[in-house]
């Protein structure tokens, strides 16, 4: 029975033989992820959350 799975040598990405378009696409995806992560991090670090809860218990403090 003959195997129809590709070998590593037959793939275009093996041993640095990938196309320039594929390399550019990979870099664009990586840089877009880093940019989105940086924007999300800046928004999270600059936003404040109020942890104070306003509770009206009816207890009078002197």
3-state secondary structure 5-60: CCCHHHCCCHHHCCCHHHHHHHHHHHHHHHHHHHHHHHHHHHCCCCCCCCCCCCCC
What's the alpha-carbon Rg for the chain, to the nearest Å? 28
| The length of the chain, given as a count of residues | 62
pLDDT band at 3 (very low <50, low <70, confident <90, very high): confident
Give percent above pLDDT 90 in the chain. Answer: 34
DSSP, collapsed to helix, strand or coil, labels residue 1 as coil
pLDDT grade, residue 8 (50/70/90)?
confident
**What is the mean pLDDT of the segment spanning 2-16?**
75
């Amino acid at each position: 029975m003959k195997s129809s799975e590709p070998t590593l040598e037959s793939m275009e990405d093996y041993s640095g033989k990938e196309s320039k378009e594929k390399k550019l696409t990979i870099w664009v995806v990586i840089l877009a992820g880093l940019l989105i992560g940086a924007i999300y991090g800046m928004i999270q670090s600059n936003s404040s959350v109020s942890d104070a809860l306003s509770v009206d218990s009816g207890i009078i403090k002197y």
